[in-house]
Amino acid sequence: MEGLSHKEIGLQLGISEVNARVKLNRTKEKLQKLLNHWVMNFDNLKSEWDGEKADDVQIPDAVAKLQIAKHPLAQLKATMKKS
């Protein structure tokens, strides 16, 4: 439905243009809440992951180097905390 107007989305779904707009906005709000929750809890998830023993798993050197690099979510997290 990307690139469609609210009217076109409504026609595709068999609902009114206003209903399509409302459903889209509610969906965006829910997605934002989920992303905020996930990003804000990323440190907890990461620490739990890092705390697990993984003696049986071999991490390739290329992946190990990526772990040292700054995670792309760090900027997103910092931006969201400012909001």
Closest CA to 12 of 3, 4, 24: 4
Which pair of tokens denotes residue 46?
């990461």
Tell me: pLDDT of 83 over 60. Answer: no
Domain chopping of the chain, boundaries: 6-82
pLDDT interval class at 53 (50, 70, 90): low
Provide the residue count of the chain.
Answer: 83
Which pair of tokens denotes residue 33?
């809440």
In the predicted model, what is the mean pLDDT of the chain? 78
Which pair of tokens denotes residue 18?
């206003």
Which pair of tokens denotes residue 80?
């969201």
More confident residue, 10 or 68: 10
What does the DSSP 8-state code read for residue 24? H
